[in-house]
Amino acid sequence: MQRDTLVFDLINKELERQRHGLELIASENFASLQVIQATGNVMMNKYAEGYPGRRYYGGCEIVDQTEQLAIDRLKQIFNCEYANVQPHSGAQANAAVMLAVLQPGDAILGLDLSMGGHLTHGSGVNFSGKLYKPHFYAVTKNEGLVDYEMLETKAREIKPKMIICGASAYSREWDYARIRKVADEIGAFVMCDMAHPAGLIAKNLLASPFEHCHFVTSTTHKTLRGPRGGVILIKKDSENPFGLKDVKGNLRMMSNLMDMAVFPGTQGGPLEHEIAAKAIAFGEILTDEFTGYARQIIANAQAMAKAFAEKDYQIISGGTDNHLMLIDLRNKNISGKKAEAVLGKADITINKNMVPYDDKSAFVTSGIRVGVPAITTRGMNEGHMQFVVNSIDKVLMNPDDENVVAGIKKEVNEFMEQFKLYPELG
């Protein structure tokens, strides 16, 4: 078979784009070369419906071992009793948890999408808002912090079967204990979706959701720096860890429910090549090197927030505890949409994002979301954040001046030369 140069040329162009640009999308990262190489392996050819040791297909002895390794390493990272590494994505992980413990029509309570929540937490265009009855809590208008009083009031009023915490654009710590307290009062499950900050939670740099949340889901490709995918975790093994009236479960029952909800509930055959890559990424997370990486993420985010604040950028909640920040650009007279487009011309990649109580639509938005996991993987430290913020500021202050934007693009490309990305790929 002739090599498909058309597609491989495009893959190489994407590599060059990643090398030359400043990647500030908060949900992106650069997986290690061994993780990337493992995603292109022959396990892709294998059907393995089921779980290690109990499959519906023959020939699974070897993929059983990689999947078990991924499970064991993930459980070790988060000190959990149960892990499922098969969800193809974060959205799939959330779908499985909901399928496992909710009935169609049950009420759920999550953070509003326009306040930093995620589509899978009850949005009307998503399965979660179509199959279940979605309700939302917000962040406070002044501080931009989760409005726990509103959450509690709504929880008592609506009595949802599940309260969802975790977000895509929230830069602050969560009070999981407070959420669990009201959940216990009304007999609701708590699901934490730690898709964004999981890598920081893995290294105890943020509060752990595991003691307080019945289920924890995550992506594997954001701060966990693995291949694209999802996981589900459960912490406890005791007689009735969930304290629920209608699900008299011990961990075994809940594990079975969860396994069944992933396969056959929401997925068919697992992606065993991706699971092999997950196992490698989880091994990397267990190293001290990753601890240093996670600490550097926080240091970089702090330095970046300070540099933005010094230039009078309005950071929602006034700063960050994690790897990202949400910036309201209304005092800078530029929309999120325009900012995203013009920064893109300077090879600086961010995403437009609604800010809490935004008066612009989701297509235009008043804000941008900026994150440091990817540039931290490239090797940047606090000292580099001033250059990053200066570059963004010059572009946003001169969005219609093509010479300025082209000049910044040149500076960015030269700056990125020092941070080698996949040098082995030539």
* Closer of 31 and 385 to ligand PLP (Cβ): 31
CB of 88 to ligand PLP, least distance (A): 8
Give 311's contacts (C-beta < 8 A, 6+ positions apart).
Answer: 389, 393
Task: Single out the catalytic residue among 39, 219, 220, 377.
Answer: 219
Annotated active-site residue 222? The verdict is yes
Residue with smaller CB distance to ligand PLP, 168 or 266: 168
CB of 111 to ligand PLP, least distance (A): 9
Query: Out of 133, 178, 228, 306, which one is annotated catalytic?
Result: 228
The catalytic residue among 67, 112, 152, 193 is 193
The one catalytic residue in 203, 222, 278, 378 is 222
Residues lying near ligand PLP in the complex (CB under 6 A) are found at 27, 89-91, 118, 120, 166-168, 193, 195-196, 219, 230
Residue closer to ligand PLP (CB basis): 118 or 203? 118
Query: Is the bond leading into 423 cis (omega within 30 degrees of zero)?
Result: no
| 51 a catalytic residue | no
For the chain, the first-to-last Cα distance in angstroms comes to 24
Residue (91 or 405) nearer to ligand PLP, CB: 91
Q: Is 47 a catalytic residue?
A: yes
Structural contact between residues 348 and 22, judged by C-beta atoms closer than 8 angstroms: yes
224 φ/ψ angles, rounded to the nearest 5 degrees: -75, -15
Residue ranges with strand state E in 292-366: 314-315, 324-328, 348-349, 351-353
**Which residue, among 86, 406, 414, 396, has the nearest Cα to 266 in the 3D structure?**
86
Torsion of CA 399, 401, 403, 405, to 10 degrees: 0
CB of 91 to ligand PLP, least distance (A): 3
Distance CA 162, CA 168 (A): 19
- Of 38 and 165, nearer to ligand PLP (C-beta) is 165
Spatial distance between the Cα atoms of 151 and 138, rounded to a whole number of angstroms? 8
Examine the residue annotation and report whether 347 is marked as an active-site residue of this protein: no
Please give the Cα distance from 20 to 33 (Å, whole number): 18
* Least spacing, CB of residue 414 vs ligand PLP, in Å: 32
219 is catalytic: yes
Q: Give the shortest CB-192-to-ligand PLP separation in angstroms.
A: 10
Question: Nearest-CB residue to ligand PLP?
Answer: 90
- From 49, 81, 173, 237, the catalytic residue: 49
d(CA 92, CA 258): 12
49 is catalytic: yes
Please list the active-site residues: 47, 49, 193, 219, 222, 228
